[in-house]
Amino acid sequence: MVKPGPNEAEPLFCGASLRGIHMDWFHCNKCFTRRGASFAVTSCGHICCESCITSKQCSVCGSDCRYLPITDKMKPQEKVFFKDPVKLMESRLAHILQIALFQQKQMERIAMHLKHKSVELERRLKEVTEQGDRQLSELERENGVLKKQLLELKRENAKLKKPLSQRRVSPGQLQTDG
């Protein structure tokens, strides 16, 4: 293995543990050692101990590759391959739960808003409907009164159109100009 330079981190693994996490699966894919050596992961996906690393070829499959020392300085997207899957899932599920709860609260807020708005609109609709019903009743009453007045005026008009001789006026009702 190429030893880490001054800016590179010290190995993460001495044996099969990562910061106290025991990993039964962790081993050199060439000599199967599990302890006491620094390890690196190849760009082709193999884990090799310090003694099995060759310069630019994978000591397991022989393909050209690069070696990434397994250290604390690895990027999070690289370290994730060495984490306990159960703890990783628990962590992700906890994060997903936070997201779900946040979104649920938002949905509850909009649902409550829409419910209040619906109640207010129903109240306003009832108010406007009752007002419209009152106005309609008043207009119907006025219409009835106006129809009666119109009928009375038509009768009076017809009466006035009759010649005086047809009106059957009794002599006592006639007045003479004096």
The pLDDT of residue 80: 87
Better pLDDT: 51 or 1: 51
6-48 residue pLDDT tens: 334 444 443 334 544 556 788 999 998 887 668 999 999 999 9
Examine the pLDDT at 171 and tell me if it is beyond 70.
Answer: no
Per DSSP, the three-state class of 41 is strand
Please tell me the pTM assigned to this model.
Answer: 0.47
Residue 53 CA to residue 37 CA, distance in Å, equals 11
* Closest by Cα among 86, 53, 57, 56 to 70: 53
Beta bridge partners of 121: none
- Taking the domains of the chain in order of start, what are their residue ranges? 17-83, 86-160
Provide mean pLDDT across the span 61-73. 91
Per DSSP, the three-state class of 17 is strand
Task: Assign domain 17-83 to its CATH architecture.
Answer: 2-Layer Sandwich (3.30)
Per DSSP, the three-state class of 39 is strand
The pLDDT of residue 177: 56
Tell me which H or E stretch contains 137: helix 85-161
Phi, psi of 82 (to 5 degrees): -110, 10
Token couple for 45: 């996906």
